[in-house]
Amino acid sequence: MTALLVGGDRLGNIPTELAKQGVSQVIHWTGRKGRTRIKHLPENIDMVLVLCDFVEHGLMNSVKGQAKAKEIPIIYSQRAITRIKEDLKEFLIACER
């Protein structure tokens, strides 16, 4: 599974935790003002994880609209690893249904 992470300057141990949950590739876009222009979602992603507390609103809205149009699941979470684990677990359970 390939995940697009949107937001945050540094990811720390987030990619390691995502790998434990089956994410083999992580693409990261920082979400700070001045560093990010509105981009088009990559074609090969299976999910989007938005780190809400570290993303510019314009980028978040663009990603949200594109993901919805392409029917790509999107998770909104805080950058704290414990919160990401919880949100990802809930997402994976929902996908199994």
pLDDT in tens, 14-23: 899 889 988 9
pLDDT of residue 41: 93
pLDDT in tens, 29-71: 987 766 556 688 998 999 999 998 778 888 888 899 999 999 9
- What is residue 77's three-state secondary structure? strand
pLDDT of residue 3: 94
Structure tokens at 21: 């949950």
51, 46, 24, 91 alpha-carbon torsion, rounded to 10°: 60
pLDDT of residue 97: 64
**Residue scoring higher pLDDT (8 or 72):** 72
Q: CATH no. for residue 64?
A: 3.40.50
In DSSP terms, 89 is beta-bridged to none
Q: CA 24, 44, 51, 38 torsion: positive or negative?
A: positive
Asked whether 41 and 66 are in contact (CB, 8 A), the reply is: yes
pLDDT of residue 21: 85
> Domains in the chain: how many in total?
1
pTM score: 0.86
Q: In which domain, by residue range, is 33 found?
A: 2-96
